[in-house]
Amino acid sequence: MSANVQQAYRLAAERYREMGVDAGAALAKLKTVPISLHCWQGDDVKGFEDFGGELGGGLAATGNYPGAARTPDELRADAAKALSLIPGTHRFNLHAFYGEFKGKKVDRDEILPEHFAGWIDWARSLGLGLDFNPTYFSHPKAADNFTLSHADRGIRDFWIRHGIACRRIAEAMGRAVGKTCITNFWIPDGMKDTPVDRRGPRERLIQALDEILAAPVDQSCTRDSVEGKLFAIGIESYTVGSHEFYQSYSLARRTLFTLDTGHYHPTETITDKISAILSFIPEILLHVSRGVRWDSDHVVTLGDDLGAIAQELVRGDYLGRTHIGLDYFDASINRVAAWVIGVRNMLKALLQAMLEPIDRLREAERSGDYTARLALLEEAKTLPFGAVWDYYCETAGVPVGEAWLSEVQAYERDVLARRG
Protein backbone atom coordinates (compact mmCIF):
# COMPACT_ATOMS: atom_id res chain seq x y z
CA MET A 1 0.00 0.00 0.00
CA SER A 2 1.28 3.44 -0.90
CA ALA A 3 2.62 5.26 2.16
CA ASN A 4 1.20 8.56 0.92
CA VAL A 5 -2.31 7.22 0.58
CA GLN A 6 -2.09 5.68 4.02
CA GLN A 7 -0.68 8.77 5.66
CA ALA A 8 -3.20 11.05 4.00
CA TYR A 9 -5.99 8.77 5.20
CA ARG A 10 -4.66 8.79 8.77
CA LEU A 11 -4.67 12.58 8.84
CA ALA A 12 -8.06 12.78 7.16
CA ALA A 13 -9.61 10.29 9.58
CA GLU A 14 -8.21 12.40 12.41
CA ARG A 15 -9.80 15.54 10.98
CA TYR A 16 -13.13 13.75 10.58
CA ARG A 17 -12.89 12.49 14.16
CA GLU A 18 -12.62 16.11 15.31
CA MET A 19 -15.91 16.72 13.48
CA GLY A 20 -17.48 13.73 15.18
CA VAL A 21 -17.34 11.50 12.08
CA ASP A 22 -15.99 7.94 11.94
CA ALA A 23 -14.33 7.55 8.51
CA GLY A 24 -13.70 3.85 8.99
CA ALA A 25 -17.39 3.25 9.70
CA ALA A 26 -18.30 5.22 6.57
CA LEU A 27 -16.07 3.00 4.45
CA ALA A 28 -17.48 -0.16 5.99
CA LYS A 29 -20.95 1.07 5.08
CA LEU A 30 -20.03 2.14 1.56
CA LYS A 31 -18.73 -1.35 0.88
CA THR A 32 -22.25 -2.76 1.33
CA VAL A 33 -23.90 -0.57 -1.32
CA PRO A 34 -24.14 -2.10 -4.80
CA ILE A 35 -24.57 0.05 -7.88
CA SER A 36 -26.27 -1.52 -10.89
CA LEU A 37 -24.17 -0.97 -13.99
CA HIS A 38 -26.40 -0.54 -17.05
CA CYS A 39 -25.41 -2.73 -19.98
CA TRP A 40 -26.60 -0.19 -22.53
CA GLN A 41 -23.74 2.28 -22.06
CA GLY A 42 -21.46 -0.31 -23.66
CA ASP A 43 -23.08 -0.39 -27.11
CA ASP A 44 -25.21 2.76 -27.41
CA VAL A 45 -28.45 0.89 -26.59
CA LYS A 46 -28.26 -1.35 -29.66
CA GLY A 47 -28.80 -4.80 -28.18
CA PHE A 48 -28.10 -8.12 -29.86
CA GLU A 49 -31.23 -9.01 -31.77
CA ASP A 50 -30.29 -9.67 -35.35
CA PHE A 51 -33.53 -8.12 -36.57
CA GLY A 52 -33.12 -5.08 -34.33
CA GLY A 53 -33.61 -1.80 -36.14
CA GLU A 54 -32.82 1.74 -35.14
CA LEU A 55 -32.92 2.91 -31.54
CA GLY A 56 -36.56 3.81 -30.94
CA GLY A 57 -38.85 4.98 -28.17
CA GLY A 58 -37.62 8.55 -28.44
CA LEU A 59 -34.18 7.57 -27.13
CA ALA A 60 -31.03 8.96 -28.71
CA ALA A 61 -27.38 7.99 -28.28
CA THR A 62 -25.19 10.61 -29.91
CA GLY A 63 -21.52 10.39 -30.81
CA ASN A 64 -19.40 7.99 -32.83
CA TYR A 65 -16.47 7.15 -30.59
CA PRO A 66 -14.92 3.93 -31.89
CA GLY A 67 -14.92 0.62 -30.04
CA ALA A 68 -18.56 -0.02 -29.09
CA ALA A 69 -19.24 -3.62 -28.06
CA ARG A 70 -20.75 -5.63 -30.93
CA THR A 71 -21.31 -8.99 -29.26
CA PRO A 72 -22.23 -10.29 -25.81
CA ASP A 73 -18.63 -11.43 -25.29
CA GLU A 74 -17.31 -7.97 -26.11
CA LEU A 75 -19.85 -6.31 -23.85
CA ARG A 76 -18.99 -8.66 -21.00
CA ALA A 77 -15.26 -8.04 -21.47
CA ASP A 78 -15.80 -4.26 -21.48
CA ALA A 79 -18.04 -4.32 -18.43
CA ALA A 80 -15.61 -6.59 -16.57
CA LYS A 81 -12.83 -4.13 -17.39
CA ALA A 82 -14.91 -1.27 -15.99
CA LEU A 83 -15.83 -3.24 -12.87
CA SER A 84 -12.17 -4.03 -12.24
CA LEU A 85 -11.57 -0.28 -11.87
CA ILE A 86 -14.43 0.36 -9.45
CA PRO A 87 -14.21 -0.47 -5.74
CA GLY A 88 -16.82 -2.81 -4.25
CA THR A 89 -19.17 -5.56 -5.44
CA HIS A 90 -21.85 -4.42 -7.82
CA ARG A 91 -24.66 -5.49 -10.11
CA PHE A 92 -25.28 -5.62 -13.84
CA ASN A 93 -28.46 -4.34 -15.43
CA LEU A 94 -29.57 -6.06 -18.63
CA HIS A 95 -32.19 -5.16 -21.20
CA ALA A 96 -34.20 -7.95 -22.78
CA PHE A 97 -32.80 -7.36 -26.26
CA TYR A 98 -29.30 -8.20 -25.00
CA GLY A 99 -30.07 -11.92 -24.97
CA GLU A 100 -27.88 -14.37 -26.86
CA PHE A 101 -29.99 -15.45 -29.77
CA LYS A 102 -27.18 -17.00 -31.84
CA GLY A 103 -28.38 -15.68 -35.18
CA LYS A 104 -31.96 -16.90 -34.62
CA LYS A 105 -34.94 -14.60 -34.81
CA VAL A 106 -36.41 -14.93 -31.35
CA ASP A 107 -39.15 -12.38 -31.00
CA ARG A 108 -39.64 -10.47 -27.78
CA ASP A 109 -42.55 -12.62 -26.67
CA GLU A 110 -40.50 -15.79 -27.11
CA ILE A 111 -37.41 -14.99 -25.04
CA LEU A 112 -36.46 -17.49 -22.37
CA PRO A 113 -34.02 -17.77 -19.47
CA GLU A 114 -31.77 -19.91 -21.70
CA HIS A 115 -31.07 -16.86 -23.87
CA PHE A 116 -29.47 -15.28 -20.82
CA ALA A 117 -27.48 -18.28 -19.64
CA GLY A 118 -24.23 -16.66 -20.77
CA TRP A 119 -25.00 -13.56 -18.74
CA ILE A 120 -25.97 -15.60 -15.70
CA ASP A 121 -22.73 -17.63 -15.83
CA TRP A 122 -20.71 -14.45 -16.23
CA ALA A 123 -22.48 -12.72 -13.33
CA ARG A 124 -21.91 -15.72 -11.11
CA SER A 125 -18.24 -15.87 -11.99
CA LEU A 126 -17.84 -12.23 -10.91
CA GLY A 127 -20.22 -12.39 -7.93
CA LEU A 128 -22.52 -9.82 -9.53
CA GLY A 129 -26.22 -9.42 -8.92
CA LEU A 130 -28.36 -9.00 -12.03
CA ASP A 131 -31.21 -6.64 -12.85
CA PHE A 132 -33.50 -6.79 -15.84
CA ASN A 133 -35.60 -4.61 -18.16
CA PRO A 134 -38.21 -5.64 -20.69
CA THR A 135 -37.44 -3.85 -23.97
CA TYR A 136 -40.43 -1.93 -25.27
CA PHE A 137 -38.66 -0.02 -28.02
CA SER A 138 -36.53 -0.61 -31.14
CA HIS A 139 -39.07 -3.06 -32.48
CA PRO A 140 -41.57 -2.99 -35.38
CA LYS A 141 -44.47 -3.45 -32.94
CA ALA A 142 -43.35 -0.32 -31.08
CA ALA A 143 -42.82 1.77 -34.19
CA ASP A 144 -45.71 4.13 -33.41
CA ASN A 145 -44.53 4.54 -29.80
CA PHE A 146 -47.42 2.59 -28.36
CA THR A 147 -46.88 -0.78 -26.69
CA LEU A 148 -48.73 -1.83 -23.53
CA SER A 149 -51.29 0.93 -24.02
CA HIS A 150 -51.75 0.29 -27.73
CA ALA A 151 -55.32 0.52 -29.00
CA ASP A 152 -54.80 -2.74 -30.92
CA ARG A 153 -55.46 -5.72 -28.68
CA GLY A 154 -53.06 -7.94 -30.65
CA ILE A 155 -50.13 -5.57 -30.20
CA ARG A 156 -50.98 -5.08 -26.56
CA ASP A 157 -51.08 -8.83 -26.02
CA PHE A 158 -47.72 -9.26 -27.72
CA TRP A 159 -46.16 -6.78 -25.28
CA ILE A 160 -47.97 -8.34 -22.33
CA ARG A 161 -46.41 -11.68 -23.28
CA HIS A 162 -43.04 -9.91 -23.46
CA GLY A 163 -43.50 -8.55 -19.95
CA ILE A 164 -44.39 -11.97 -18.58
CA ALA A 165 -41.46 -13.59 -20.40
CA CYS A 166 -39.14 -10.98 -18.87
CA ARG A 167 -40.38 -11.58 -15.33
CA ARG A 168 -39.70 -15.30 -15.76
CA ILE A 169 -36.18 -14.53 -16.98
CA ALA A 170 -35.63 -12.16 -14.08
CA GLU A 171 -36.87 -14.85 -11.71
CA ALA A 172 -34.36 -17.32 -13.17
CA MET A 173 -31.61 -14.72 -12.90
CA GLY A 174 -32.39 -13.90 -9.29
CA ARG A 175 -32.51 -17.57 -8.38
CA ALA A 176 -29.26 -18.39 -10.18
CA VAL A 177 -27.19 -15.57 -8.74
CA GLY A 178 -28.82 -15.72 -5.30
CA LYS A 179 -29.68 -12.01 -5.30
CA THR A 180 -33.09 -10.54 -6.04
CA CYS A 181 -33.33 -9.26 -9.60
CA ILE A 182 -35.28 -6.04 -10.06
CA THR A 183 -37.37 -5.96 -13.23
CA ASN A 184 -37.87 -2.39 -14.37
CA PHE A 185 -40.76 -1.54 -16.66
CA TRP A 186 -40.32 1.49 -18.83
CA ILE A 187 -42.43 1.96 -21.95
CA PRO A 188 -42.19 4.80 -24.45
CA ASP A 189 -45.94 5.13 -24.99
CA GLY A 190 -47.07 8.62 -25.77
CA MET A 191 -47.75 11.21 -28.43
CA LYS A 192 -45.91 13.93 -30.28
CA ASP A 193 -48.86 16.26 -30.26
CA THR A 194 -51.68 16.94 -27.85
CA PRO A 195 -54.02 13.96 -27.60
CA VAL A 196 -57.75 14.21 -27.25
CA ASP A 197 -57.87 10.95 -25.30
CA ARG A 198 -55.48 10.81 -22.37
CA ARG A 199 -57.68 8.42 -20.47
CA GLY A 200 -57.97 5.48 -22.86
CA PRO A 201 -54.26 4.65 -23.10
CA ARG A 202 -53.88 4.94 -19.32
CA GLU A 203 -56.76 2.56 -18.72
CA ARG A 204 -55.27 0.10 -21.18
CA LEU A 205 -51.85 0.42 -19.57
CA ILE A 206 -53.26 -0.39 -16.13
CA GLN A 207 -54.96 -3.46 -17.52
CA ALA A 208 -51.87 -4.62 -19.38
CA LEU A 209 -49.60 -4.16 -16.37
CA ASP A 210 -52.12 -5.95 -14.17
CA GLU A 211 -52.09 -8.90 -16.57
CA ILE A 212 -48.30 -8.99 -16.55
CA LEU A 213 -48.11 -8.83 -12.78
CA ALA A 214 -50.77 -11.50 -12.39
CA ALA A 215 -48.34 -14.12 -13.71
CA PRO A 216 -46.91 -15.80 -10.64
CA VAL A 217 -43.18 -15.37 -9.97
CA ASP A 218 -41.14 -15.97 -6.84
CA GLN A 219 -40.90 -12.56 -5.20
CA SER A 220 -37.69 -13.52 -3.44
CA CYS A 221 -36.06 -13.87 -6.88
CA THR A 222 -37.54 -10.90 -8.66
CA ARG A 223 -39.43 -7.72 -7.83
CA ASP A 224 -41.08 -5.33 -10.27
CA SER A 225 -40.63 -1.62 -10.61
CA VAL A 226 -42.30 0.95 -12.87
CA GLU A 227 -40.55 3.99 -14.33
CA GLY A 228 -42.34 7.21 -15.14
CA LYS A 229 -41.21 9.87 -17.56
CA LEU A 230 -42.07 13.35 -18.71
CA PHE A 231 -41.38 13.23 -22.44
CA ALA A 232 -39.06 11.95 -25.15
CA ILE A 233 -37.97 13.08 -28.59
CA GLY A 234 -41.05 12.75 -30.78
CA ILE A 235 -43.19 12.06 -27.69
CA GLU A 236 -43.30 15.60 -26.37
CA SER A 237 -46.94 16.20 -25.53
CA TYR A 238 -48.20 13.16 -23.72
CA THR A 239 -46.54 10.25 -21.90
CA VAL A 240 -48.98 7.57 -20.83
CA GLY A 241 -46.72 6.35 -18.01
CA SER A 242 -46.09 9.69 -16.37
CA HIS A 243 -44.68 10.21 -12.90
CA GLU A 244 -48.10 10.60 -11.32
CA PHE A 245 -49.45 7.59 -13.18
CA TYR A 246 -46.77 5.22 -11.97
CA GLN A 247 -46.48 6.67 -8.51
CA SER A 248 -50.16 5.91 -8.09
CA TYR A 249 -49.84 2.54 -9.80
CA SER A 250 -46.97 1.43 -7.62
CA LEU A 251 -48.84 2.47 -4.50
CA ALA A 252 -52.01 0.69 -5.58
CA ARG A 253 -50.31 -2.50 -6.77
CA ARG A 254 -47.38 -2.60 -4.36
CA THR A 255 -44.65 -2.54 -6.94
CA LEU A 256 -41.44 -0.59 -6.63
CA PHE A 257 -41.23 2.83 -8.21
CA THR A 258 -38.38 4.05 -10.40
CA LEU A 259 -37.14 7.62 -10.31
CA ASP A 260 -34.93 8.54 -13.27
CA THR A 261 -33.14 11.82 -12.63
CA GLY A 262 -33.57 12.84 -16.27
CA HIS A 263 -37.33 12.34 -16.36
CA TYR A 264 -38.51 15.63 -14.93
CA HIS A 265 -38.60 19.27 -15.93
CA PRO A 266 -35.05 20.55 -16.47
CA THR A 267 -34.85 22.37 -13.13
CA GLU A 268 -36.79 19.73 -11.19
CA THR A 269 -34.65 17.32 -9.16
CA ILE A 270 -35.65 14.08 -7.47
CA THR A 271 -34.05 15.02 -4.12
CA ASP A 272 -37.26 15.96 -2.37
CA LYS A 273 -39.25 13.14 -3.94
CA ILE A 274 -37.25 10.39 -2.24
CA SER A 275 -38.51 10.84 1.31
CA ALA A 276 -42.00 11.71 0.09
CA ILE A 277 -42.33 8.51 -1.91
CA LEU A 278 -40.59 6.31 0.63
CA SER A 279 -43.17 7.46 3.16
CA PHE A 280 -45.65 5.23 1.36
CA ILE A 281 -43.81 2.92 -1.02
CA PRO A 282 -41.45 0.40 0.60
CA GLU A 283 -38.68 0.45 -2.01
CA ILE A 284 -37.56 2.56 -4.90
CA LEU A 285 -35.23 2.11 -7.84
CA LEU A 286 -33.07 4.98 -9.01
CA HIS A 287 -31.92 5.59 -12.55
CA VAL A 288 -29.15 8.03 -11.90
CA SER A 289 -28.54 10.02 -15.04
CA ARG A 290 -27.63 13.57 -16.02
CA GLY A 291 -29.83 15.59 -18.27
CA VAL A 292 -28.20 18.53 -19.98
CA ARG A 293 -31.03 20.84 -21.11
CA TRP A 294 -33.22 17.79 -21.64
CA ASP A 295 -33.24 14.06 -20.80
CA SER A 296 -29.94 13.74 -22.62
CA ASP A 297 -28.48 10.93 -20.51
CA HIS A 298 -25.00 12.37 -20.08
CA VAL A 299 -22.46 10.58 -17.89
CA VAL A 300 -23.14 11.20 -14.20
CA THR A 301 -20.79 13.78 -12.70
CA LEU A 302 -20.04 14.59 -9.07
CA GLY A 303 -22.09 17.73 -8.68
CA ASP A 304 -24.73 19.22 -6.43
CA ASP A 305 -27.60 17.18 -7.86
CA LEU A 306 -25.86 13.87 -7.31
CA GLY A 307 -24.63 14.99 -3.89
CA ALA A 308 -28.14 15.93 -2.82
CA ILE A 309 -29.52 12.52 -3.82
CA ALA A 310 -26.77 10.72 -1.93
CA GLN A 311 -27.37 12.90 1.12
CA GLU A 312 -31.07 12.10 1.10
CA LEU A 313 -30.36 8.36 0.92
CA VAL A 314 -27.82 8.47 3.72
CA ARG A 315 -29.48 11.03 6.00
CA GLY A 316 -32.86 9.35 5.68
CA ASP A 317 -31.36 5.89 6.20
CA TYR A 318 -32.92 4.82 2.90
CA LEU A 319 -30.05 2.82 1.42
CA GLY A 320 -31.64 -0.47 2.45
CA ARG A 321 -34.82 0.49 0.57
CA THR A 322 -33.22 1.97 -2.52
CA HIS A 323 -31.84 0.10 -5.51
CA ILE A 324 -29.31 2.34 -7.20
CA GLY A 325 -28.85 1.95 -10.93
CA LEU A 326 -27.28 4.20 -13.52
CA ASP A 327 -28.94 5.16 -16.78
CA TYR A 328 -27.05 7.12 -19.40
CA PHE A 329 -25.48 6.48 -22.76
CA ASP A 330 -22.76 8.65 -24.16
CA ALA A 331 -21.35 7.48 -27.49
CA SER A 332 -18.92 10.39 -27.80
CA ILE A 333 -16.30 9.16 -25.32
CA ASN A 334 -14.68 5.85 -24.41
CA ARG A 335 -17.61 3.76 -23.20
CA VAL A 336 -15.66 1.84 -20.57
CA ALA A 337 -14.51 5.15 -19.13
CA ALA A 338 -18.11 6.39 -19.18
CA TRP A 339 -19.09 3.48 -16.93
CA VAL A 340 -16.11 3.91 -14.61
CA ILE A 341 -16.64 7.66 -14.22
CA GLY A 342 -20.34 7.30 -13.47
CA VAL A 343 -20.08 4.51 -10.91
CA ARG A 344 -17.06 6.01 -9.19
CA ASN A 345 -18.96 9.29 -8.95
CA MET A 346 -22.02 7.62 -7.49
CA LEU A 347 -19.84 5.96 -4.87
CA LYS A 348 -17.96 9.18 -4.15
CA ALA A 349 -21.23 11.02 -3.61
CA LEU A 350 -22.40 8.33 -1.19
CA LEU A 351 -19.10 8.41 0.68
CA GLN A 352 -19.22 12.17 0.94
CA ALA A 353 -22.72 11.90 2.37
CA MET A 354 -21.59 9.23 4.82
CA LEU A 355 -18.81 11.54 5.99
CA GLU A 356 -21.11 14.42 6.88
CA PRO A 357 -20.91 15.64 10.48
CA ILE A 358 -24.51 14.54 10.69
CA ASP A 359 -24.87 14.51 14.48
CA ARG A 360 -23.78 18.12 14.74
CA LEU A 361 -25.94 19.09 11.79
CA ARG A 362 -28.99 17.44 13.27
CA GLU A 363 -28.38 19.06 16.61
CA ALA A 364 -28.07 22.49 14.99
CA GLU A 365 -31.31 21.98 13.09
CA ARG A 366 -33.18 20.55 16.06
CA SER A 367 -32.25 23.50 18.23
CA GLY A 368 -33.20 25.99 15.53
CA ASP A 369 -29.61 27.12 15.01
CA TYR A 370 -29.80 27.45 11.26
CA THR A 371 -26.69 29.61 11.22
CA ALA A 372 -24.62 26.71 12.54
CA ARG A 373 -26.38 24.30 10.16
CA LEU A 374 -25.42 26.37 7.14
CA ALA A 375 -21.90 27.03 8.41
CA LEU A 376 -21.25 23.34 9.07
CA LEU A 377 -22.72 22.23 5.76
CA GLU A 378 -20.41 24.61 3.94
CA GLU A 379 -17.33 23.69 5.98
CA ALA A 380 -18.04 20.00 5.44
CA LYS A 381 -17.56 20.55 1.71
CA THR A 382 -13.82 21.06 2.11
CA LEU A 383 -13.13 18.26 4.57
CA PRO A 384 -10.46 15.86 3.19
CA PHE A 385 -12.90 13.47 1.58
CA GLY A 386 -10.54 12.68 -1.31
CA ALA A 387 -8.02 11.07 1.04
CA VAL A 388 -10.70 8.73 2.38
CA TRP A 389 -11.84 7.85 -1.15
CA ASP A 390 -8.26 7.15 -2.28
CA TYR A 391 -7.72 4.91 0.72
CA TYR A 392 -10.94 3.06 -0.08
CA CYS A 393 -9.82 2.44 -3.67
CA GLU A 394 -6.39 1.32 -2.53
CA THR A 395 -7.74 -1.12 0.06
CA ALA A 396 -10.27 -2.42 -2.48
CA GLY A 397 -7.44 -3.18 -4.88
CA VAL A 398 -8.50 -0.74 -7.62
CA PRO A 399 -6.54 2.20 -9.04
CA VAL A 400 -6.25 5.32 -6.90
CA GLY A 401 -7.22 8.66 -8.42
CA GLU A 402 -6.87 9.00 -12.17
CA ALA A 403 -4.64 5.90 -12.41
CA TRP A 404 -7.62 3.96 -13.79
CA LEU A 405 -7.53 6.10 -16.93
CA SER A 406 -4.25 4.67 -18.21
CA GLU A 407 -5.72 1.20 -17.80
CA VAL A 408 -8.71 2.20 -19.92
CA GLN A 409 -6.38 3.78 -22.47
CA ALA A 410 -4.36 0.57 -22.68
CA TYR A 411 -7.59 -1.41 -23.09
CA GLU A 412 -8.66 0.95 -25.85
CA ARG A 413 -5.33 0.46 -27.63
CA ASP A 414 -5.23 -3.31 -27.23
CA VAL A 415 -8.91 -4.23 -27.52
CA LEU A 416 -11.38 -1.48 -28.49
CA ALA A 417 -9.34 0.02 -31.32
CA ARG A 418 -9.13 -3.37 -33.00
CA ARG A 419 -12.88 -3.58 -33.41
CA GLY A 420 -13.94 -2.71 -36.92
H or E, element range at 259: strand 256-260
Residue selected from 141, 243, 287, 290 as contacting Zn ion according to rule CB under 5 A: 287
The reply on whether position 40 binds ligand RNT by CB under 6 A is yes
Determine whether 150 is an active site residue: no
- Catalytic residue of the set 229, 243, 273, 323: 229
Answer for the pair 83, 90: CB distance below 8 angstroms, yes or no.
Answer: yes
The Cβ of residue 143 has, within 10 Å, a number of other Cβ atoms equal to 12
Residue 131 a catalytic site member: no
Taking the C-alpha atoms of residue 388 and residue 402, their distance in angstroms, rounded to an integer, is: 15
Residue closest to ligand RNT, measured at CB: 186
**404 carries an active-site annotation:** no
Q: Is 330 a catalytic residue?
A: no
171 binds ligand RNT (CB under 6 A): no
327 binds Zn ion (CB under 5 A): yes
163 Cβ partners below 8 Å, 6+ apart? 134, 148, 185, 208, 209, 212
Interaction partner, residue 350 (Zn ion, ligand RNT, none; CB < 5-8 Å by kind) = none
Give the strand pairing for 190-191 and 238-239.
antiparallel
Q: Which of residues 126-155 bind ligand RNT (CB under 6 A)?
A: 133
**Cβ 45 to ligand RNT shortest distance, Å:** 6
Task: Given the residues 283, 295, 390, 412, select the one marked as catalytic.
Answer: 295
Nearer to ligand RNT, 184 or 352 (CB): 184
Site string for Zn ion, 257-276 (x = CB under 5 A): ---x----------------
Establish if 287 lies at the interface with ligand RNT (CB under 6 A). yes
> How far is Cα 126 from Cα 31, in angstroms, rounded to an integer?
16
In the list Zn ion, ligand RNT, none, the entry touching 48 (Cβ below 5 to 8 angstroms by class) is: none
Pairwise CA distance, residues 276 & 199, whole Å: 26
44 or 327: CB nearest Zn ion: 327
Cα–Cα–Cα angle for 70, 73, 77, rounded to 5 degrees = 100
- φ, ψ dihedrals at 305, nearest 5°: -65, -45
Stretch (H or E) spanning 206: helix 199-214
Q: Catalytic one among 40, 159, 186, 339?
A: 186
Torsion of CA 399, 400, 406, 408, to 10 degrees: 50
Of the residues 49, 171, 260, 283, which one makes contact with ligand RNT according to CB under 6 A: 260
Which residues of this chain interact with Zn ion, rule CB under 5 A? Answer: 260, 287, 327
Which residues of this chain interact with ligand RNT, rule CB under 6 A? Answer: 40, 45, 59, 133, 186, 227, 229, 260, 287, 327
